Chain A
């Protein structure tokens, strides 16, 4: 199963997930994404920046982060400890973040295991 298939499967299982992206936040590169409607590149770039700020920003090295705004919810999961790759999920604002975070951890582990 390739990375895209993992992201597609996650979106299928959790309809609240509008965009799933696998990024290298150190280089600011979107490695792979899955969305219902292709977002502008600026959106994906901003997602990379958010991942950088949340996972290796002033709060310190982090494994997982969530962000809530009135319009969306974002879940970020570092692929493995110390890795610069992360799974980024943009969800509807009322999504069940606990469930989606669990799914993000599992998908990130599967992607890492698949050698992405």
Chain B
């Protein structure tokens, strides 16, 4: 049985590209290269983190990121109006955001990038803008994401839900389980794998949340690539599960 602490450690190991909190690295190249690398950094950050970018001129921009989405930026202090303090989910923010980051990278000097824990909660309504949407809008396409295997997506979901998860079990390249032993036993009765009747056949990503007749517990099942998951949460948390799933897969 693997508990969530072990999973967290595994997740951090997977984030070996300097994206674990405290990881620092240099982004260099021409302005477009640096912009693309910033987007790549954002695209690799799944759990809530703050990406701190510092230029040679000591200008510092802080990017709040969760679920591969840029939620908020701060630091240039009005160099590009209407960006700082805004939630960034609207398409009209694509160009102002580009101007904002160009103001940071204009000199072509390398940036020092540091990832830290996010020191504020990300609200449910703060969808932000995905790195891939920005990359498309800016004409700086990103390579396909390599790290986000089904196993990793499922792990990230379980980690992101924290104590809301009563018990869970996954079936994929690395079958795992955790949470309450007693409730985990109940989950072993659920059929997982590619043919589970609890998910629409052949569709990924997919998730269901079923509130049992007692009204106390919800059983959620999910498929990401070849990995399927069953987890139990308090019924009141079912919407949170779906919300996080949408953020991770949207």
List the A residue with the shortest CB-CB distance to B200: A69
- Please, how many angstroms separate the alpha-carbon atoms of A63 and B189 in the complex? 20
User: In the assembled complex, which residues on chain B have CB atoms less than 8 Å from the CB atom of A60?
Assistant: 212-213, 219
B203 at the interface (CB under 8 A from A): yes
Query: Which A79-116 residues have C-beta < 8 A from chain B?
Result: 81-82, 94, 97-98, 101
- On chain A, the number of residues with a Cβ less than 8 Å from chain B's Cβ atoms is 24
What separation, in Å, do the CA atoms of A62 and B209 have in the docked complex? 10
**B83-98 contact mask (Cβ, 8 Å, vs A): 1 or 0:** 0000000000000000
Cβ-neighbour of A59 out of B190, B203, B205, B207 (below 8 A): B190
A58 and B191 in contact, given A63-B215, A97-B242 (Cβ under 8 angstroms): yes
**Cβ of A65: which chain B residues have Cβ within 8 Å of it?**
208-211
Residue picked from A54, A58, A68, A70, most chain B C-beta under 10 Å: A68
* Nearest-CB residue, chain B, relative to A57: B197
CB <8 Å contact, B238 and A68:
no
Q: How far is the CA of A116 from the CA of B156 in the complex (A)?
A: 44
Instruction: Kindly state the separation between the CA atoms of A59 and B13 in the bound complex, as whole angstroms.
Output: 34
- In the complex formed, the residue of B with least CB distance to A56 is B213
Contact A58 B211 (CB under 8 A): no
Which B residues lie within 8 Å of A57 (CB)?
A: 197-198
Q: Which residues of B contact A70 (CB under 8 A)?
A: 203, 205-206, 249
| A61-B209 contact in complex given A68-B246, A98-B239, C-beta closer than 8 Å | no
Q: Smallest distance from the beta carbon of A68 to chain B beta carbons, Å?
A: 5
Q: Is the interface of B mostly helix, strand, loop or mixed?
A: mixed
B245 within 8 A of A: yes
A66 interfacial by beta-carbon distance below 8 Å = yes
CB-based contact B189/A67 at 8 Å = no
Query: What residues of B have a CB within 8 angstroms of the CB of A97 in the complex?
Result: 239, 242
**B249 cross-chain contacts in A, Cβ below 8 A:** 70
SS of A interface (majority)? mixed
B212 pairs with A62, CB closer than 8 A: yes
Cβ of A50 under 8 Å from chain B: yes
- The answer on a CB contact under 8 Å between A58 and B239 is no
Contact of A68 among B191, B207, B215, B219 (CB under 8 A): B207
A81 and B110 alpha carbons, distance in the complex (Å): 63
Return the chain B residue nearest A60 by Cβ.
B212
Residues A61 and B197 in contact, CB atoms below 8 Å apart? no
Listed from nearest, the 9 A-B pairs whose CB atoms lie closest are: A61-B213, A64-B211, A65-B210, A59-B219, A53-B197, A67-B208, A62-B210, A68-B207, A69-B206
23 CB-based A-B contacts, threshold 8 Å: A53-B197, A53-B198, A54-B198, A55-B210, A57-B198, A59-B221, A60-B213, A61-B213, A63-B211, A63-B213, A63-B215, A64-B211, A65-B208, A65-B209, A66-B209, A66-B242, A67-B200, A67-B207, A68-B206, A68-B207, A69-B205, A94-B246, A98-B239
Given A58-B198, A67-B200, A97-B242, 13 more pairs with CB closer than 8 A? A54-B198, A59-B210, A60-B213, A63-B211, A64-B211, A65-B210, A67-B206, A67-B207, A68-B207, A68-B208, A68-B245, A82-B213, A101-B239
